A and B are shown apart, each in its own frame.
Chain A
């Protein structure tokens, strides 16, 4: 277990500088792990030739169809010890909390069965245990599984969810992200482990409009906390803030930065808020953390269809639920039901390899909303349609139907 190191003049340059170096880390592993020795050799080869040398394949564990990312080296004759270098994806707890005893167990297992290289975390939210032989995947996963951890999604499946620190340590949090995360994701366990969807589906949970989990751009269903009553104002703290920072600072940095101009600094150094025009953007609350907080009537806004480039370009999620209460068991049940309905609609209507957002673009938001048994809402659009190429002959019937709905 002490294979000779390859010369790595290029990678060596990544050991200087103030930022922690992954190369130094892999070199430490290479002292008693031959896989790491050849990994460095292959990586140096990539740096020299400016090309990657991994190819996919198949590898999985008993009972599951996905979760392992198989990697086989195309230059295995030169670097045989890393010829199989698979990644195991493990789902962490919401907001990525750990006790050190658990992290140490991760290290022990991965030192025993894998390369010793762990990414904390992938952008999908998984712990990525990088570098495992085909033979060791099963025993390694068994150990993680016995510790209470399960495999994350890969391929056309529900992917590992992500939620912000929220309730655990953030005063802006408007709902229990951890609970929502677990209730929704754990109702899709079968779809996480056995990829059978048109394509991937991601859920992300952010406690407020700051959207620390980047749910609007990176998830097919983004659950973002909000409130519908008035911002809570502690006027004494407003005064303290004005006293400390000065009126000009407050005007420049708080009131004039409000996107809807609904804040006014009064002559007596209190703040007046036109809450009917507040769009819950979080700016003023971010600046005056002690004086302002979200209202008390809290819940979530839900957007669907965010994704990155392939195939029709980047899409931001679009609003499908302007407000939903999320407090009681029943509320959480409704969130789970909505996520299931959205998923089922997409499974039925999405084409192969078509993300939810692409389906919405192809079939139109109206069809999705109708499919979910919901009503359209002016919050769902930036503005009503501008093009007249639409059949309006159902107009009167629709008005009549809406009247009936309203009347109950």
Chain B
């Protein structure tokens, strides 16, 4: 008789206390205030009198086991054997003794991990899977992020932006990367090409028809076999048909471009949360270093850094100076494509006589 298969223990989300640094565990819910002694370091003080210093380092997110073990070695030697990760794939080492901060920073720096990502810095870019693993990507998220973080390294290790800057990338219009102060996303510019031979075999046609946000896909007979057709005037090139129907090829070496969006913010601090807005498009998807995309991002960051008031997030800064000035200062052209014509578009039109000259 063959062995019984092992049934999983459906334990769900594990208890965090077992993995938590003892100083954090002891002071859970007791923290009183914090400061940032230098970029990349946080100092928290508890109502119990305990203190903890956190050193934050950037990682490449997609890590090989050797890199993870190296981080563990550093944590064992300098940080009591505990770490945590942030939502942006930064790693944090906590120490209860201020004297350990410097050697910890030195050890991380020596191994090539940048220290920063706190306060008013450009933190690690949150990203998706790209060509490394996803089945629908128009570009390689990890590569774009590595290239950009090389360029933005100084902005990660320093805290001299007006406020924090969160950048996100997405390798298709589905936008797994999320909203950001700057979002760098693939935007398809041509309707999908249909491989009719494959549709008949692979496709649950009703489901792909239902997926299209503008009802551009219709069932059709092609060469005597059931297939699909796309009304190209309606199609907005969103790519939503491709995951359920790989024969609807949307990714294209030439026409999958990069678009850049700004002003997304999830925090409620000062202004309400906001969605990011299109500022540039048609940027070539140019591996391995994506220099054109990097140039636009750096230009926007430079203008923001120079022009924004302290504490203004990118979207708040643009709201204050107005979008016409944003386009003027960044030198990015304003086009008819920037004028929304999708659902709820009127909410984005100017319903006042407010104009700046």
* A interface residue numbers (CB < 8 A to B): 10-11, 13-14, 16-23, 25-26, 28-29, 39, 43, 46-47, 49-56, 61-64, 69, 71, 85, 87, 91-104, 106-108, 110-111, 116-121, 123, 130, 138, 141-142, 145-146, 148-151, 160-162, 164-165, 167-171, 173, 176, 178, 181-182, 185-186, 189-190, 192-193, 209-218, 224, 252-253, 257-259, 279-283, 286-287, 289-290, 293, 308-314, 316, 352-353
Contact = CB atoms under 8 A, between A and B. Distances in A.
B354 interface: no
B273 interface: yes
Given A100-B72, A100-B82, A117-B64, 10 more contacts: A18-B150, A22-B61, A23-B146, A47-B287, A93-B15, A110-B65, A119-B89, A216-B273, A259-B271, A281-B270
B68 A106 contact: yes
Contacts of A189: 10, 12
B75 to A, nearest CB: 5
Contacts of A282: 267-269
A289 B19 contact: no
A47 B140 contact: yes
Contacts of A29: 64-66
A46 B273 contact: no
B295 interface: no
A19 B32 CA distance: 34
A102 B19 contact: yes
Contact of B19 (A13, A97, A215, A224): A97
7 contacts: A19-B58, A20-B67, A120-B89, A150-B14, A168-B20, A211-B267, A282-B269
Contacts of A316: 273, 275
A392 to B, nearest CB: 25
A178 B256 CA distance: 41
A25 B89 contact: no
**How many B residues touch the partner, as a band?**
35 or more
Q: From B72, B112, B114, B264, name the one whose CB has the most chain A CB atoms within 10 angstroms.
A: B72
B270 A283 contact: yes
A119 B61 contact: yes
A7 to B, nearest CB: 14
Contacts of A54: 133-135
Contact of A46 (B16, B69, B131): B131
A71 B84 contact: no
A118 B251 contact: no
A64 B213 CA distance: 31
A308 B261 CA distance: 14
Interface SS of chain B: loop
A285 B28 CA distance: 20
B62 A93 contact: no
Given A51-B251, A54-B135, A93-B19, A308 B14 contact: no
B83 A216 contact: no
Q: From B31, B266, B289, B342, name the one whose CB has the most chain A CB atoms within 10 angstroms.
A: B266
A311 B240 contact: yes
A353 B211 contact: yes
Nearest to B185: A309
A95 B211 CA distance: 34
Interface in B197-248: 207, 210-211, 213, 238, 240, 243, 246
A62 B9 CA distance: 11
A268 to B, nearest CB: 22
Given A182-B13, A217-B178, A22 B60 contact: yes
A310 B143 contact: no
A352 B210 CA distance: 9
B53 to A, nearest CB: 11
B63 A186 contact: no
Contact of B87 (A116, A212, A279, A287): A212
Contacts of A91: 12-14
Q: From B32, B85, B246, B251, name the one whose CB has the most chain A CB atoms within 10 angstroms.
A: B85
Given A54-B134, A100-B75, A168-B24, A93 B13 contact: yes
Given A101-B81, A217-B264, A120 B16 contact: no
Contacts of B269: 209-210, 281-283, 286
Contacts of A216: 266, 268, 273
